[in-house]
Structure formats: structure tokens, C-alpha cells
Amino acid sequence: MRHGYKGFTLVELMVTVAVLAILITVGIPSFVGLLNSSKADTEVGDMVRAFNYARLEAINRGMPTQVRTEAGSNWTGKLSVVINTGATAPTAASSTLRVIPAMSSAAALNTPNIVYIEFNNMGALTYPASALNITYTRGAVTRNFAVCVNGRVVVSGTCG
């Protein structure tokens, strides 16, 4: 009577490990790209929602509303949506409506050298006086969006 052995041979284990290593080598860059793309979409979405929220609050309240950067920070830092009280820097007199958390340290924005944008009571952009085109970059991932003079926020494009 013949006795069979149970288990895997060394060759079978080596082939399995080799196939697994190839799959991981191919899959990790795609997974990292997927994570960067997802993070980029989330951070751009947060900023676009902040601009839209500020615009709607300006219309609803009938008062100019601003999206301001954190003092001494660029647009990747913490942002605040505030009612404009006439001051260009946040003060105790200004009413903060919402705070948007800072973006990740890997994110970069190309924005003009301004510390706030402002919407008037009609929802139009009053500061800066021209359309604001912004490009978000995180590694190889790039997203474009713009704030038009009429206050509309355009994702994946520029003002026409």
C-alpha cells in the first residue's frame, strides 16, 4: 500500500510567492495613484464647497462674505468663511460661519497672492476683481477649478 504525502512542494511554494510578488509590484503603484486621486478629489471638493457656501451665505444674509486663509498661511492651510465686517484680517468683530481644515502637506495650489476672496450680497465675486483660476497638484494628480466674476465655481475648467 502506498502512502501519500499531504502538503505543498518547495517548487509550488516558490511559484506562488513569485506570482504574488509580481502582482504586488504591479498593483502598488496603481493603488498609490488611486489614493492620491481620491485625496485630491476630497481636498478640491472641500475648497469648492467652502466657496459655494460663502457665496450662498452672502446671498442669504445680504452681506458680503469672505473665504480667508489662516494668518500667514497659503491656501493649503486652514480656511475660514466669515461675514465681512470691513476688516481684511479676522477679528473678534467678524462672525466665523465655517472653518475648513488644512489640506495635506503633499498638496500645492497655484493661487494669486491674496489672503481672502469676497462675495457680495448678489453672490458675485468682489475681491479679487477678476476671475480666480486655481490649479491643485498632489504628486502626479492635478485638478483645475475657477471662481468666476459672477461668483460661479467651475470645476475642471476655467471661466468663459
Give the Cα separation of 43 and 63 in Å (integer): 27
96 or 94, greater pLDDT: 96
- Cis ω for the linkage preceding 128 (within 30 of 0): yes
Number of folded domains that form the chain:
1
CATH (domain of 141): 3.55.40.10
Nearest to 53 by CA among 98, 90, 20, 8: 98
Report if residue 5 sits inside a domain. no
DSSP code of residue 136: E
Instruction: Tell me what percent of the residues of the chain surpass a pLDDT of 70.
Output: 89
pLDDT of residue 55: 92
Domain of residue 34: give its range. Answer: 11-155
**Would the pLDDT of 84 be above 60?**
yes
159 or 130, greater pLDDT: 130
**Would the pLDDT of 94 be above 80?**
no
Report if residue 2 sits inside a domain. no
pLDDT, tens digit (0-9, with 9 covering 90-100), for 36-74: 888 888 888 888 899 999 999 999 988 899 988 876 667
